[in-house]
A and B are shown apart, each in its own frame.
Chain A
Amino acid sequence: MELDASVLETTPPARQPSAVLRAAIAVVVALIASVFLLFVLAPVVGLVAAGGGRGLSSLARDGELRASLALTALTATIATLLGVVGGTPIAYLLARRDFRGRSIVAAAMELPLVIPHPVAGIALLLVLGRGSPMGGALYAAGLRVAGSATGIVCAMLFVSAPLYVSAAREAFAQVDARYESVARTLGDDVWRAFRRITLPLAARGLTAAAVVMWARAVSEFGAIVILTYNPKVASVLSYDRFTSFGLSEALPVAAVLVLFALVPLAALRALRRERRA
């Protein structure tokens, strides 16, 4: 197509920002990003700098701190395992199947994410406390929920499982359903195709989802403090030390908890690196 010369003459060229303006915009954007990064990093670095050394050295002599860290790790692990067992089928169904009530299931799985965590604790206490029919029945069967490690697991599961389901759903969605179709035509039934094809292909994503859930469970406070104050997980212990003895006593516990949280973060980054490779 030929261009009309008169159009070329009369149409003003698109205005480009000058080099100075572009440089100024870049400086402003860099400044905003730096301030934001500082806002996130400063409290964490400050906390570790102020209490990290003391926290690590107190690990040897502070039995309560060691017990709370062990309890935190154990309950978070149990909650994660339960989340994986219960959440994986739901994540798979949400990623693969179009069924009636799918949006209701999806919304239900996201509900705990939007509830304030102390409110989640109250709701769990209402359902699982000794005074409730279910809690009473469990208590009669010898399973005490409120005020026990079981309560901690329940609180952790409730608040962190949605993160697993959401990430696992994404992991399944990234595996093209046609791999399964091919496996089915090659003789696999649904379960065998899932086990031999989908699961291995989604494994990294599912592991990352479990790590995210574990990390979230470890850092949970609001729901746990309502359901089970004692025995204390690390987050409740740091709060307890702060309210009972002040900032200086809370610092070592809090710093150790931050260092503890770095473990899943490092695992997650390693998984992502492996995935990219």
Chain B
Amino acid sequence: MKVGVVTFPGTLDDRDAARAVRFAGGQAISLWHGDVDLHGVDAVILPGGFSYGDYLRCGAISRFAPVMQSIIKRANEGMPLLGICNGFQVLCEAHLLPGALTRNHELHFLCRDQKISIENTTSAWTSSYSQGQEIVIPLKNGEGSFQCDDQTLAALENEGRIIARYVGENPNGSRNLIAGIANERGNVVGLMPHPEHAIDTLTGPTADGLGFFTSLLQSMAGK
């Protein structure tokens, strides 16, 4: 089970995402932003970080990387694709997901152990969680406020495409406490918090995040 992890200039959490894939029993393949070859991977992760220094807008430049052409094509064919934090921002800029991520409402970068509830367990990335399961994983960003128009919001809600919601106080001003969403097909998921930083209690607040990666491997194995 090969999972590609993309590195753009300025990507930070690629090694952590790769580690999480390995922890879950998969094989992590490093994908360079300038290389259109996806090296036969079965799924792709766009990790967190500050690609291109968040110049212009977060993810605005990364979305045009050569590797993204290949990824968009495969995603449109159903390949599982997970964008974490900056990766989520890239997916929105690339219009693989609707809406956009804007500046945290309180303007500060915020790093905290965040409780979220998993609201969609049909996606390849969340199938090993139970409906409504509450987990704690790190949230760390300055631009995590999910915004979209009313029509999009209604569609997301009605079609069950909210992957996860923040529990408790809204940490960044996201509409409807949205922490993560999926596309219509369900194979592309964007998530603001970082599951790759919660794979064991030695280095993370919990091991609750590992489920994102084991879900994927289980889903793919099932196919």
Partners in one complex: no
Residues of A within 8 A of B (CB): none
Residues of B within 8 A of A (CB): none
